[in-house]
Amino acid sequence: MNVTVEYAAQVKQVAGIGSESIELAAPCTIAELARQVAERHGGPLSNILLDGEGAPRRSILVFLGEDQVRWDDDSTLVRDGDTVTLLSPVSGG
Amino acid sequence: MPPLTDEERAVYEWQIWVPGFGETGQQKLRDASVLVSRVGGLGSVVAYELAAAGIGRLVLAHAGNIKPSDLNRQLLMTHAGLGTSRVESAQRRLKELNPRLEILSVAENLSEANAERLVGEVDLVVDCAPLFPERFAMNRQCIEQKKPLVDCAMYDLEGQVTTILPGETPCLACLYPEDPPSWRREFPVFGAVSGTIGCLGAMEAIKVLSGLGEPLAGTLLTYDLRDMTFRRRRLLKLDNCSVCGSTTDSGES
């Protein structure tokens, strides 16, 4: 199955791309998807998504389609054809 | 509310024609006050649009003097004013546009020390600040004092805005339960990007204050001007949020 992962703000900057298609073996939680993305890219993208212990950072906003999903939501699964957006916090200035 | 003066009718004629706004909407704006927290790239445009729309009173909070790097986006600052006070420049430019406008200029950034007083001065707050501790202090006071908070942000060619209505919508602490470790005060942006968000934030303020249209309550508008993608994202309240105490999981108001 394939899902589209979109990157926004600083996540996009460190990913170096705006979006990509990722193949998953089976439906998974948002947190598991983030770990797969972090493993795939490593380095700065992993550091912005995950803390030192490998847990998703709570300050990164995540959307499944247009709906926000919490990192600790284990009941929502990413399925074939879904679009997930990872958005780092931004401010004014 | 006192009726509009002939001068006010003449100046605001074009927006008084807007269905659902009218003279009543204009009177509401004239009787309203807004805190613009920092008058930089975002806040300059928010303040200018609110001044143009006939808001009665603005409180402008921004520390420091004008630097060369302000001038690509901070439209209330001028080259001639380099080295002089940002809020004084902002006040002068706004009064040139609208001499009826009452302005309280505060040469400080919003902080835990002054947030209660500054938020207490106004009916609505527009967050145009770059640092999360500053924004969290603003959010806490808005929730405590039940004042609407229009939250604007940007990065690169991206922008986002949402309107926080205390007791109804998720608050800033629901979105970001902790200070984001990756955020830095200085970041890439064009003035044409901050300008778009400033206009959207000002429009949200006008809508909330006058009752016009539907504000972005519980909704985060995100956009990327690289490809002109605009999205409306539904936000979640955080269970047991330490600031707004939300206990439900539904973000839609």
CATH of the domain at A79: 3.10.20.30
- When pLDDT is averaged across residues B99-120 and rounded to a whole number, the result is 98
- Distance (Å, whole) CA B5 – CA B28: 14
First to last CA, chain B: 29
Domain membership of residue A69 (yes or no) is yes
Domain membership of residue B133 (yes or no) is yes
Across chain B, mean pLDDT equals 95
Which pLDDT score is estimated for B136?
97
Q: Are B164 and B142 in contact (CB under 8 A)?
A: yes
Report CB contact under 8 Å: A8, B235: no
Among chain A residues, CA nearest to B132:
A91
Domain membership of residue B10 (yes or no) is no
Domain membership of residue A64 (yes or no) is yes
- Residues of chain A positioned with their CB less than 8 A from the CB of B177: 58-59
- When pLDDT is averaged across residues A39-60 and rounded to a whole number, the result is 93
**How distant is the Cα of A27 from the closest Cα of chain B, in angstroms?**
22
- Give yes or no for residue B108 having a pLDDT over 60: yes
- When pLDDT is averaged across residues A11-32 and rounded to a whole number, the result is 96
Whether B109 and chain A come into contact, CB under 8 Å, resolves to no
Range of the domain at A48: 2-87
Q: Minimal CA–CA distance to B137: which of B115, B120, B152?
A: B115
Domain membership of residue A93 (yes or no) is no
Confidence of residue B183 (pLDDT cuts 50, 70, 90): confident
Report CB contact under 8 Å: B156, A9: yes
* Residue A11, amino acid: V
Whether B6 and chain A come into contact, CB under 8 Å, resolves to no
Range of the domain at B188: 32-234
CATH assignment of the domain containing B105 = 3.40.50.720
| Partner residue opposite B251 with nearest CB, options A10, A68, A89 | A68
- Give yes or no for residue B249 having a pLDDT over 60: no
ipTM above 0.90 for this complex: yes
Which pLDDT score is estimated for B186?
82
Whether A10 and chain B come into contact, CB under 8 Å, resolves to yes
**How distant is the Cα of A41 from the closest Cα of chain B, in angstroms?**
17
Task: Give the percent of chain B with pLDDT over 70.
Answer: 97
- When pLDDT is averaged across residues B52-75 and rounded to a whole number, the result is 98
Domain membership of residue B93 (yes or no) is yes
- When pLDDT is averaged across residues A19-34 and rounded to a whole number, the result is 96
- Give yes or no for residue B3 having a pLDDT over 80: yes
- When pLDDT is averaged across residues B46-58 and rounded to a whole number, the result is 98
Domain membership of residue A74 (yes or no) is yes
The pTM (predicted TM-score) of the whole model is 0.95
- Residues of chain A positioned with their CB less than 8 A from the CB of B127: 92
Confidence of residue B251 (pLDDT cuts 50, 70, 90): very low
pLDDT digits (tens, 9 = 90+) for B64-88: 999 999 999 999 999 999 999 999 9
Which pLDDT score is estimated for B250?
45
Whether A61 and chain B come into contact, CB under 8 Å, resolves to yes
Residues 191-250 of B with CB under 8 A from A: 194, 197, 220, 222, 224, 226, 231-236, 238
Which pLDDT score is estimated for B84?
98
When divided into structural domains, chain B yields a total of 1
Domain membership of residue B14 (yes or no) is no
Residues 35-94 of B with CB under 8 A from A: 38, 40-43
Q: What CA–CA distances, in Å, run from A72 to A15, A46, A69?
A: 23, 18, 9
Q: Which two tokens stand for residue B13?
A: 């004629």
H helices within chain A, ranges in order? 10-15, 30-41, 43-49
Report CB contact under 8 Å: A92, B186: no
Residue B247 carries which DSSP code?
A: -
- Count CB-CB contacts under 10 A for residue B242: 11
Confidence of residue B111 (pLDDT cuts 50, 70, 90): very high
- When pLDDT is averaged across residues B211-229 and rounded to a whole number, the result is 97
pLDDT digits (tens, 9 = 90+) for B142-154: 999 999 999 999 9
Q: Minimal CA–CA distance to B140: which of B150, B131, B149?
A: B149
Domain membership of residue B191 (yes or no) is yes
Residue B139: its H or E element: helix B132-144
Domain membership of residue B18 (yes or no) is no
Cα torsion through B166, B127, B222, B67, rounded to 10: -170
- When pLDDT is averaged across residues B16-33 and rounded to a whole number, the result is 98
Domain membership of residue A31 (yes or no) is yes
Whether B127 and chain A come into contact, CB under 8 Å, resolves to yes
Whether B19 and chain A come into contact, CB under 8 Å, resolves to no
- Give yes or no for residue B189 having a pLDDT over 60: yes
Helix (H, G, I), strand (E, B) or coil at B189: strand
When divided into structural domains, chain A yields a total of 1
Which pLDDT score is estimated for B246?
60
Q: Minimal CA–CA distance to B224: which of B193, B201, B200?
A: B193
The residue count of chain B comes to 253
Domain membership of residue B3 (yes or no) is no
- Give yes or no for residue B253 having a pLDDT over 70: no
Q: Give the CB-side neighbour count of residue B49, counting CA atoms within 13 A.
A: 22
